[in-house]
Structure 1
Amino acid sequence: MKNKLPAKSAISVALILFLMSCSAKEAAAPGPAEEETALISAEAGNEPAIESFYGPILEQLDEDMQQYVQSGKVSNLAYALIKDGDRIQSGYFGTRTLNGSDPVDDRTIYRIGSMTKAVTAVSLLMLLEEGKFSLDDPITRFLPELNNLQVTRSFQSGSSGGLRPAERAPTMQELLTHTAGFANGDGQTDYANRVFQQRDVEGATTNEEYLKRLSGVPLMYQPGTAWSYSAASDLQGIIIERISGERLGAFMKRRIFDPLGMVDTGFSVSDAQRDRLADVTAWPPGQPLAKIEGPMQDMDAAHLPRDAGGHGLVSTIADYERFAEMLLHEGTLDGERLLNPDSVRLLRTSGTDFTDPETGFPMYQPFRGTRFGFGVAVVTNTIRSGLGAPEGTYFWDGAYGTWFWIDPYHDIIFIGMVQNLSANPVMPRKTAMTDVYHALFTDYFPSNPVVEEDLPE
């Protein structure tokens, strides 16, 4: 379904253009027939999608994105802005290889990190539609290795405070919403995450070893009582494999990538694809950009024995645009239905606050005004989020700096790709969102505006 601009927005665009033309003495005044045609077009909302944006601010978007490369923080950045199914603007800056000469483009292959989570959630929702499980099922129905989990008594503390048995097993819904209580590592210093790192859960080369290591890591809190970014999506991937009897990558290829024509998306790259794979770089403090060595650099299947549902995919802007278009169109693209509309709405259901159960305060400052759905964050308060995006917009980022968002109200998709993995993260999404929504002509107003006393001091 295409969401067209309201008539007021189209008329506002026409008014601005009219005022600009009046300031130019050489501009010819339109005749009555032309005025009538323009008014009919504006009222019908049939203007080209590009006319929904103020050009100078889109130019600023291009400059802001290019600056990440010019400043030496990343070796390349690519992005695409899509509205009403049309490419409004794309930018390709820098080179695929560090200090190389090959420019990036639509088909440059990037490691998309946690943008994998949305694909994994879609895969699991497909199996939910087929009746393979219910959201209330305990995850131990498929992961018996995780019976008898322990829970720390001190949430987000460096000390365990003593351990206690989990009151129950997490449910499938809690796994999808990251409220199951699992840790994630990622350099966090609380007790559960330190144990996760000490047991080298991510270093497991098989699903069985992964579950064995994870079973010895206590939950951060009792299932369903808080939100924490976690290993839940990796567990979703393992469950998909056990239900389907296929490797996760094979399932995704058959059910998602092939139907959508996503020819460069998967958990590794082939020899034929390798000369399109972007280098992974790091930005060490006070040092120039450097290339990272290791298995993640070549993405060879032989060095990646386990398909990680939380962070393992590579993709391109062209491919991920197809995936995002399918979600924007309620599960269907070019006659291929992957999900029912109700499942897509479930994916973006804003049910989980980013809060600390001990204090009630937001856990992560960047996520004010948002909640968490099934593998994506959802804007729930436009003003408080500071992003400019309307409520119902959903998004997520990847550890390498990649990002995307989908705005059903304005029929907008944005995809951005960089490849930085270091202690100095490069996350351009907020800048991109701010520029896009400053440039967009719209009469959208939040349905739930923040009153003054709600704003943080």
Structure 2
Amino acid sequence: MVLNRSGILYLGVLTLFLSACNEPVNQNFIVNEEVKSRIDSTLQSYVNTGNVGGVSALIFENDKEVYFNAFGFADRENQKPMDRETLVRIYSMTKPITGTALMQLWENGKFDLDDPLEKYAPEFSGMKVYEGVDENGEMILVDADRPISIRDITRHTAGFPNRNDIPGLSEIMAEVDARSFENTLTVMAEKMGRTPLWFHPGTQWEYGLSVDVQAFLVERISGQPYGEYLRANVLDPLGLDETKYYLPEDERDRLAVAYTRTGEGQLEPTPDSIANRFNFNKWPLTPGGFGLVSTIDDYMTFARMLARKGEINGTRILEPETIELMATNHLPDSITERSWLPSKGRVGFGIDFAVRTEAPQRAEEINGIPGEFFWDGAASTLFWVDPKNDLVAVLFVQLFPYDGIGLHKNFKDAVYGKFVPEE
């Protein structure tokens, strides 16, 4: 289902009406003492086996904290425990924060989701689409069937290439290097606009640089540098003082080590020159798709704002109807090519979140409740909002490659109980 501003009012009124007419869905807490013990043993087991250095989890239910615990070390080599003060790199969990900034401008009537991106960013006009290479290895390019829409950049259907194995096109991407930290968002957009799309807009789901373009669009429409807009309109109003791109020297001892798992029970610290290159320097690039560090409490405040329909601690960041729109699946059934998105479960995609459309049907699938919206990060972090049970969870860890150990599945099984298919 695809909604625009004209349809969202009805959705919001209907939601408020149903909320008023029905008692709360969650009469009994999911996270009881048995569940807490199950979560503890699950997370501790990953530390005991040497497959994570440290891990922490925080859960709110009915808008009250019902679980927090931390296991292992933020820095195993120096025996620094993982705790509530630990900072982690949230990577793609930056994306929903960027989407929040963008949708503030949507609420203010600055654009419509189905507006062509080129209306505000002529850098993306006249886009060409890649159709392979000829016998000489030259790219075959055609005109895009339609312009990229803003909706496309919120749901990853814009067509931006994001792989290193596309003959001809991947070489161009590497040469252009749009996401170089040395680029401003404007330079990034100019370079992306000169790079052919991998597919026609609206025809596939492919993760990539779309949310960096959202940050550029916020900057272009608001007239403010993106980092300043984000700080003034999202981070500071929410009190997210620990959430930032650049980490000052006096706070770096709280940043968790990023570990690379090289085998069963084998972890290697990622060198600072790689893990901290972005956050220990002030770069021209302020990406929308990655780059923030945060604490588990900061990120929970952001997630609770979403669960509370855009308001927390007396501060409204977005209207309830906007949160409903963001947490609605925007992928039509016609978009069947969805890369690895199905590995997240039976999901669609809203505005910078995956949206669960069906319950799991096999025990091997990742657990979850229909209506849940969530996302994760490259270092295996995770958060989700479960509106049916009024439950919000944040999982922090710093592990590469991304969750190759079943951490997310086992954590969700610990919270909800293992899914048992009906016979």
Matches within 5 A, 1:291-306: 291-294=270-273, 296-297=275-276, 299-300=278-279, 302-306=281-285
Distance 1:402 1:161 in 2: 38
Cα shift at 1:192: 4.5
Cα deviation digits, residues 135-187 of structure 1 (max 9, x gap)? 122111232222222212269xxx997221112320111111111111234x5
Answer whether contact 1:111 1:400 (CA < 8 A) is retained.
yes
Taking a change above 3 Å as real, the CA distance of residues 193 and 395 of structure 1, as seen in their structure-2 partners, is farther
Structure 1, 210-219 or 193-202: larger mean CA deviation: 193-202
Alpha-carbon distance in structure 2 between the residues aligned to 1:138 and 1:346:
19
Q: CA deviation at 1:319?
A: 0.3
- Residue 419 of structure 1 aligns with an amino acid whose one-letter code is Q
The verdict on how the C-alpha distance between 1:189 and 1:421 changes in structure 2, with shifts beyond 3 A counting, is farther
User: Which deviations, in whole Å up to 9, do the C-alpha atoms of 1:73-107 show, x marking residues without a partner?
Assistant: 33211111211122222221122224122212112
The CA deviation string for residues 388-439 of structure 1, in whole angstroms up to 9 with x for no partner, is 3221100101011111000011000110111123477456222211221118
Moved more, 247-256 or 381-390: 381-390
Q: Deviations over 1:169-227 (max 9, x none)?
A: 20111111111111234x56576556434533322522233223323432121111221
Matches within 5 A, 1:151-162: 151-153=129-131, 162=140
Percentage of matched positions with identical amino acids:
29
Q: TM-score, normalised by structure 1?
A: 0.78
Q: Report if aligned partners of 1:106, 1:316 keep a CA contact under 8 Å in 2.
A: yes
Q: Which residue of 1 aligns with 2:180?
A: 203
Distance 1:295 1:288, change over 3 A: closer
2:387 to 396, 400, 408: 408
Among 290, 299, 303, the residue aligned to 2:269: 290
Could you tell me which residue of structure 1 aligns to residue 259 of structure 2? Answer: 281
Please give the per-residue CA displacement for 1:43-82, whole angstroms capped at 9, x wherever unaligned: xx4x6x4xx3453343222222222222223321111121
CA distance in 1: counterparts of 2:24 and 2:124, whole angstroms: 55
> In the alignment, which of 333, 340, 346 is matched to residue 325 of structure 2?
346
Rounded to whole Å, the distance in 1 between the matches of 2:403 and 2:211 is: 24
Q: Is the 8 A contact 1:57 1:439 kept in 2?
A: no
Are 2:199 and 1:221 aligned? yes
- Partner secondary structure for residue 417 of structure 2: helix
Note closer, same or farther for the CA distance 1:142–1:204 as it changes in structure 2 (3 Å cut). Answer: farther
CA distance in 2: counterparts of 1:361 and 1:260, whole angstroms: 33
TM-score (norm 2): 0.84
Task: Mark the CA change 1:362 to 1:256 in structure 2 (over 3 Å): closer, same or farther.
Answer: closer
SS at match of 1:283: strand
Q: Please, what is the CA RMSD of the aligned residues? A: 3.2
Q: Which moved more, 1:318-327 or 1:415-424?
A: 415-424
1:151 touches 1:165 (CA, 8 Å); kept in 2?
yes
The answer as to whether partners of 2:296 and 2:396 remain within 8 angstroms in 1 is yes
Q: Which amino acid aligns with 2:117?
A: I
What amino acid maps onto 1:350 in structure 2? N
Paired residues in the alignment total 398
Residue 168 of structure 1 aligns to a residue whose secondary structure is coil
Letter in 2 for 1:326: M
Would the aligned equivalents of 1:371 and 1:379 in 2 still touch at CA under 8 Å? Answer: yes
- Residue number in structure 1 paired with 2:216: 238
Partner of 2:146: 168
Deviation, structure 1 residue 285? 4.7
Match of 1:366 among 343, 351, 368: 343
Structure 1 equivalent of residue 373 of structure 2? 394
Cα distance change on mapping 1:425 and 1:262 into 2, 3 Å? same
| 1:218-243 Cα shifts (integer Å, max 9, x gaps) | 21211112211121000000111122
2:294 corresponds in structure 1 to: 315
Check whether the contact 2:379–2:402 (CA below 8 A) recurs between aligned residues.
no
Q: 1:329 aligns with which of 304, 308, 332?
A: 308
C-alpha distance 284-370 of structure 1, shift in aligned 2 (>3 A): same
Q: Which amino acid aligns with 2:242?
A: D
**Partner of 1:294: helix, strand, or coil?**
helix
Whether the aligned pair in 1 keeps the contact of 2:345 and 2:360 (CA below 8 Å) is no
The verdict on how the C-alpha distance between 1:125 and 1:83 changes in structure 2, with shifts beyond 3 A counting, is: same
Structure 2: state its 5+ residue gaps. 1-15
Answer with 1 or 2: which has the greater Rg: 1
SS for the counterpart of 1:308 is coil
Deviation at 1:306, TM superposition (A): 1.0
Q: Indicate the SS of the match to 2:374.
A: strand
Q: How many angstroms apart in 2 are the aligned matches of 1:361 and 1:180?
A: 13
Residue 268 of structure 1, CA deviation: 1.6
Within 5 Å, give how 1:58-69 maps onto structure 2.
58-69=36-47
Q: Following the alignment from structure 1 to structure 2, what is the Cα–Cα distance between the partners of residues 337 and 298?
A: 34
Tell me whether 1:128 sits opposite 2:78 in the alignment: no
